[in-house]
Amino acid sequence: MKKGFYTALGTPLEKDGTFIPESMAAQIEQQIAAGVSGVLVMGSMGIETYLKTSEYPKVAALSAQAVHGRVPTLVGVTDVSIARVKDRIDRIGDIRGIDGVVSTIPYYNALKQEEIYRFYAAIADYAKVPVYLYDLPGVTKVAIQPDTVRRLWKHGNIGGIKSGNIVLHRVLLQAEDHPDGFVQMFSNIDIFDVAYAWGIDHNLDGMFACTPKTASALYDALGRGDKRAAARALDRILALRDLLAGTVSLLDGFSCAMNLLGCRGSFKADFEGSVAEEDRARIAAMMREMGEI
């Protein structure tokens, strides 16, 4: 799990919810060409919780096959109970090329920290690959606290955490008992360049899926220590993010952007609307200016 950018891939679907494998394969090749450090399949941007049960293992299998071991491949297994997460793990259990599974805490109830510990410990006991914690309090209503993470990282099968809470990352990085192999993936894209400069250098976000060339330029600049160039590249990604979010929904705008990259299909929940033609034109203009299309 080397430092750099990790992309939460989008999941391309037909109108009836059927997975489009060739579109996912094209997206993965774009990311590999851009120098991605790893991919998350069926995370939040990959609308895992909205997918048909029949399509879920297909997405995992095709993605692992397309990546073909070139970078680490993580797969989302988020659900609302230990039993249901175990069921998702079972559905992808025989697929080769999966390097870890990622889950938020159950998002229907507001869990206590002890319940969070029991939830992840049970999943880690069950999974055959490392489990990555996903701290997403905007959805789950509860933030994972540093002491809970420190209890969990003593478990032999907890691989790391994805969180946008920079305070959490700072506390964990300073812990004297921090395991060497515990990976901290930062997900607050607005300050990726600042975080990277302070050593929080595993950065994961779904916007990289529709900005592979700009993401490559961003992390090339960060690697060179060119903070100004890095800031300019990140600002371009954030401007596109804000434009997409200003349409019917972020995921609807994201679908439009992915289509412009040549990745066919819908990348959004099936109840969402469609981007207006004028918004589509603005998205295309900005992506041309960025050099993505």
Active site amino acids: 134, 162
Using alpha carbons, select from 79, 88, 163, 165 the residue that is nearest to residue 129.
88
CA distance 255 to 130: 30
Which two structure tokens, joined as six digits, stand for 213? 């060339």
Using alpha carbons, select from 245, 248, 246, 232 the residue that is nearest to residue 289.
232
Find out whether 160 and 182 touch, Cβ atoms under 8 Å. Answer: yes
H-helix or E-strand spanning residue 83: helix 82-91
Q: Report the Cα 150 to chain-centroid distance in Å.
A: 22
Contacts with 50 (C-beta within 8 Å, 6 or more apart), sequence order: 269, 270
Report the greatest alpha carbon distance in the chain: 54
CA distance 190 to 192: 6
